[in-house]
Amino acid sequence: MTDETKSFRLRYVGARFEGARLPVDVLSDFPAFRDLMIAFAKDEWRRINSDRKRVPKGFDKSISFDLVKIEEGSAVPKLDWNRNVAQTCLPGFSDQIEEIVENSFTHLVALIDEAGAGHFSKSLSTDYIRALNKLGSGLKDGERIEFQGTKGQDGNVVFLDAVRRKQLITHVKETYQTRIETVGKLIANATSGQIKISTVEYGEIEIPVDAETVLEIFDGNLGADVQFDIQIELDNDDRYRSVKEVFDIGLIDAQIGADLFKCRNRLTTIRGLGAGWHDRGGPEIDALVVDAANCFLSKRPSLCGTYRIYPTESGGVLFEFERSGWDFSVEFGPGGKVEMYGVQINGHDEMEPKDFHEVGEEFMAEFDRRVGVERAG
């Protein structure tokens, strides 16, 4: 091999990656990328060394990557395979390991490219599944990871997005993981290290909590509203299976809960409006619009007491509220798209309408910046 260092570039594409920014919730992609490369590398080693039953001791550690730079062009992490680590772990094998790493990357890209064409492996080992469940788990709709320097069957750079990732994982295993932030009602206290919560989106879910947390926070609060941020497992039809990790959980103030209930009832009423509700005009309010609005309520329930909620003549839902000397509007349109704008109440400043394709991290970051609100917990 002539190259001293073998580099791999993963280009993150999406509004929140502009300016070479990487949100911390995607950093888990890097160890997942390494683990997936190791899974391919082990199979490659066994293929080359068919006379050996096992990979040599220190093989996993020999495949080590360093994040050496985040380049411009959205955000492009540059990962260098560490030859020195390989030489230390497997003396005399660094050239062979480098070749295996190259081939592993080729196989990894081919797996993702084949998924994009609708072709899937019949099965993959648990090492592959474990890594695939983590790689790209923080991607939002409309975002993708491009594997720079590759070319797929369609002639374009190979990429992984939320849709392709879900298709790939659910075809080789009938579940996938995603991170959610929402609100539910406490319907049962822990008897075996779990509390049970009823949610609008996923039905009843059981969240693991320690006994001390149950006594201090949840004991005696059945029926209370709970806000939580968790990683869950869903099946191919997006039905809830289990909770994999808990990032944040806590009770919501009773008044906030009452305001949330009132807002959701208002959305239910709006959803029930038939076509012609506005002087024989106005289309029926689409379910996706109401779903997006309900998702928004769950993200920042502390503001529910300030919202005025109306149907729009275009079939959307409009939230109006005042905050910090501003009059803001958030409008949910067809397909769950979001538009936000505002004017200063006693001034001349204004926020020009800004569009978002979903109630995702990009929208919530802009909402928090403009409105100046912290998450309720």
53 and 167 inside one domain: yes
CB 149 within 8 A of CB 9: yes
pLDDT digits (tens, 9 = 90+) for 322-366: 998 999 999 999 877 899 999 999 988 999 999 998 888 888 889
In whole angstroms, give the CA distance from residue 224 to residue 186: 6
The percentage of residues in the chain with a pLDDT greater than 90, rounded to a whole number, is 34
**Number of Cβ within a 10 Å radius of residue 38:** 21
The answer as to whether 31 is a domain residue is: yes
Positions of the chain with pLDDT under 50:
1-3, 375-377
CB 12 within 8 A of CB 161: no
pLDDT digits (tens, 9 = 90+) for 302-326: 899 999 999 998 889 999 999 989 9
Domain extent for 334: 254-371
Note the pTM of the prediction, 2 decimals. 0.53
137 and 191 inside one domain: no
Residue 375: the pLDDT is: 47
The answer as to whether 376 is a domain residue is: no
pLDDT digits (tens, 9 = 90+) for 224-249: 889 898 999 887 667 888 999 999 88
Task: Out of 150, 173, 196, pick the residue that ends a domain.
Answer: 173
The answer as to whether 377 is a domain residue is: no
187 and 169 inside one domain: no
246 and 258 inside one domain: no
Task: Out of 144, 173, 202, pick the residue that ends a domain.
Answer: 173
Query: Half-sphere exposure of residue 304, counting CA atoms within 13 Å on the CB side?
Result: 29
217 and 345 inside one domain: no
Helix boundaries (H) for the chain: 29-48, 59-62, 83-89, 94-116, 126-134, 162-172, 211-213, 254-271, 287-299, 361-371
245 and 276 inside one domain: no
14 and 121 inside one domain: yes
In whole angstroms, give the CA distance from residue 49 to residue 142: 42
Q: Which two tokens stand for residue 206?
A: 């059981």
223 and 294 inside one domain: no
163 and 189 inside one domain: no
Nearest alpha-carbon partner for 231 in 182, 192, 301, 194: 182
305 and 273 inside one domain: yes
70 and 208 inside one domain: no
CB 296 within 8 A of CB 358: no
| Count: domains in the chain | 3
239 and 217 inside one domain: yes
Task: Out of 118, 142, 173, pick the residue that ends a domain.
Answer: 173
Nearest alpha-carbon partner for 300 in 208, 366, 354: 366
